[in-house]
Amino acid sequence: MRLEQYTQPFASSFYKKYLEDVTNLSSFFHYEWNQKALTKRIQEADFSKHKRTELAEVITSYMSKYGISAKSSQHIDELRNNGVVVIGGQQAGILSGPLYSIHKAISVIAMAKQQREVLGVPVIPVFWIAGEDHDIDEINHVYIERSRTLQKLVYPEKSRTKKIASESTFDLQLMDSYLDEIFKSLPESLYTKNLQSKVLELLENNLTYTSFFTALMNELFQEEGLLLLDAAYEPLRKLESDYFQLQILHASEIAKVVFEHEDKMQQEGFGTPIQAKESAAHLFYVEEGERFLLERVNDQFIHEVKGLSFTLDEMMEIAREHPEKLSNNVVTRPIMQEMVFPVLSFIAGPGEIAYWGTLKTAFELFDMKMPVLMPRISISIVNAKMQSLLEKLSFTIEDVWNGTVQDAKLNYINSNRNEQIPHLIEKMKEDLIEKYDKLEQLLVTDGLKLSPLLQKNLKNHEKQLKFIGNTVEDTFLSKLDATTNRYDRISMNLIPNGGLQERTYTPIQLLNEYGPSLIQQLLEVPYEFNGKHHVIYL
């Protein structure tokens, strides 16, 4: 195994600024992202107000279904006492969703270990699952390789309602068939059979997106003591009751400061990551598993299309008596996280860092500071086959990212193409058009009205010439296929869909290739939280 580090490829302007010049973003964040900031955070944050005992009981209750390892049990006990957390989270994608879900979990674990040693206090890794999210189209698919192309394979069952992930259930037989199709797309390895059996075993008693996700993540990381919690878990909602009440009371102020702060972000050239509205309530109402985003109109909390309307008093009663009927959005979720957990650091992806940048003044409404936002570790894994291809063709990983590989492929094709052939076909087409024009003029002179017939006949000839041209091109490319396929394999493996590997592939492809020990291998890499992209050669 070899580790190399590179400047983040494909970074947005705001993320690039955060990585390289966070000091000049102090108007958007309370802390920079370095050891000094982490030490300052532990010294000045008041972690005495958290409902530690209740939180520990909620996590124990949630995780008991999936199995609580000795290390997880230790972490729960530490959380109950004086521990602080490094936390990150993600939507509940099928088979963990994209690889960056795994990278976030690795980041949370690695950061917690490092800070436990540096700060000398219990630092606990926590991964929250966005089971309250209802955009199932974002999580209902994986990408597989088929016929030498990358294809999006969507779980075929369509729901008539947009239920939250924690209440969106699978049809067991349909999901079995779907998973079978995924595994059939993988090359047979020493690990395939056992891997498929384990996945099907995890599925059997976990027929919602969230529970299946939790079962898999716990299987992969329980020995590290990673604590898992679903944001939509009803006992957690009960714990959050007081905090929902605070957010409801301050809804208009939250909306105002976030709107103004995002406008400031836009004026500085960083866009509008959440597109905030001054009328937003920044809360959802949940009914029969569906979420409805509320707005504030004339002192009412409403969802016009659904016909929902609540007074302030009614909202407060819901928060007190039925907090499970409320759900946070992108603005209030980070605030709720801070109220529930004693957070040392939040592990954030590029998109999260951008929208958290709109929330500084919203945190201040509650006399809180944002935690240290640590950029998650991003990883590309280069297997032995890819290493061999890169060396054979004299490419670096940066050549893959910056388009040099695809440029080289086009240059190779063009250097082998006989340009006389397409030119001759084009010349034949031009000659035909010229001769048909002359023929038409002669016919018109003789009073013979055959223009429609001539045009139709000409189009038939043009169609045949186009067919010849396409066939020549296909045959030509087929002749070069052995070489061009090498360029395509590099791109499909390392920049699938034109972006980083971690944004497209699931861990299943890698676990099938390297076996269950892969996760432990990845956890043993000496990561640096320096904003660099980590390339691991296996």
Please report where in the chains the tokens 């045009």 appear, as a residue.
455
pLDDT digits (tens, 9 = 90+) for 145-200: 988 899 999 999 877 778 999 999 999 999 999 999 999 999 999 999 999 999 99
Which residues have C-beta within 8 Å of that of residue 301, sequence separation ≥ 6?
A: 248, 251, 281, 283, 285, 294, 295, 308, 309, 310, 311, 312, 314, 315
Q: Which two tokens stand for residue 363?
A: 């945190």
Is-contact 490 335, C-beta < 8 A?
Answer: no
Please list the alpha-helical segments (H only) found in 162-191: 172-184
Strand partners, 287: 290
Alpha helices (runs of H) in 222-323, residue ranges in sequence order: 234-239, 241-249, 251-267, 312-321
Expressed in percent and rounded to 5, the helix, strand and coil fractions of the chain are 55, 15, 30
Give the whole-angstrom CA distance, residue 302 versus residue 310.
6
421-425's contacts with Cβ under 8 Å and 24+ in sequence apart are 421/472, 422/469, 422/472, 425/465, 425/468, 425/469, 425/472
Confidence at 508, pLDDT banded by 50, 70, 90: very high
Confidence label for 440 from pLDDT (cuts 50, 70 and 90) = confident
Percentage of residues of the chain with pLDDT beyond 90 = 92
Q: Is the pLDDT of residue 375 over 80?
A: yes
Q: What gap in Å lies between CA 141 and CA 163, rounded to an integer?
A: 17
What percentage of residues in the chain have a pLDDT greater than 70?
100
Distance of CA 482 to the CA centre of its chain: 34
Residue 448 binned pLDDT confidence (cut-offs 50, 70, 90)? confident
Quote the DSSP letter at residue 282.
E
Token representation of residue 151: 């294809």
Q: What is the pLDDT of residues 65-108, one digit of tens each?
A: 999 999 999 999 999 999 999 999 999 999 999 999 999 999 99
The amino acid occupying position 105 is: A
How many whole angstroms separate alpha carbon 329 and alpha carbon 326? 10
* pLDDT for residue 455 is more than 80: yes
Could you give the C-alpha distances from 276 to 262, 280, 297, 327, 477, in angstroms and in order?
Answer: 7, 7, 15, 17, 50
Mean pLDDT value across residues 269-297: 95
What's at 10, amino acid-wise?
A: F
User: Kindly report the CA angle at 395 between 480 and 103, in degrees rounded to 5?
Assistant: 110
Say how far apart CA 208 and CA 217 lie, in whole Å: 14
Q: How far apart are CA 277 and CA 256, in angstroms?
A: 8
pLDDT at residue 148, rounded to an integer? 87
3-state secondary structure of 505: coil
Task: Give the residues across from 2 on adjacent strands.
Answer: 537
Closest C-alpha among 360, 352, 486, 519 to residue 412: 486
Which helix or strand (DSSP H or E) is residue 38 part of? helix 35-44
Average pLDDT, rounded, for the chain: 95
In this structure, are residues 299 and 315 in contact, taking their beta carbons and an 8 Å threshold? no
Q: What is the Cβ-side half-sphere exposure of residue 431, based on CA atoms within 13 angstroms?
A: 7
Question: What are the tens digits of pLDDT across the range 199-218?
Answer: 999 999 999 999 999 999 99
Per-residue model confidence as pLDDT tens digits over 256-269: 999 999 999 999 99
Phi, psi of 364 (to 5 degrees): -65, -25
Q: Give the separation between CA 317 and CA 249, rounded to whole angstroms.
A: 12
346 pairs with which residues across the strands? 87, 373
H/E element, 405 = helix 404-416
Radius of gyration from C-alpha coordinates of the chain: 29
The two structure tokens encoding residue 456: 């139709």
Residue 224 amino acid letter: E
Q: Is the pLDDT of residue 409 over 90?
A: yes
Identity at 122, one-letter amino acid code? P
Measured at the CA of 278, the angle between CA 274 and CA 283, to 5 degrees, comes to: 65
341 close to 50: Cβ distance less than 8 angstroms? yes
* Amino acid at position 211, single letter: S
For residue range 1-49, list pLDDT tens digits in order.
Answer: 899 999 999 999 999 999 999 999 999 999 999 999 999 999 999 999 9
Q: Which residue has the tokens 């998973």?
A: 179
Determine which of 154-163, 306-315, 323-332, 437-446 has the lowest per-residue pLDDT on average: 154-163
Report the run of H or E that residue 283 belongs to, with start and end: strand 280-287
The per-residue pLDDT for 450 is 87
Q: What is the dihedral of CA 247, 252, 255, 258, to 10 degrees?
A: -90
State the DSSP H helix or E strand holding residue 491, giving kind and residue range, or none if neither.
helix 481-494
Average pLDDT of span 474-478: 87
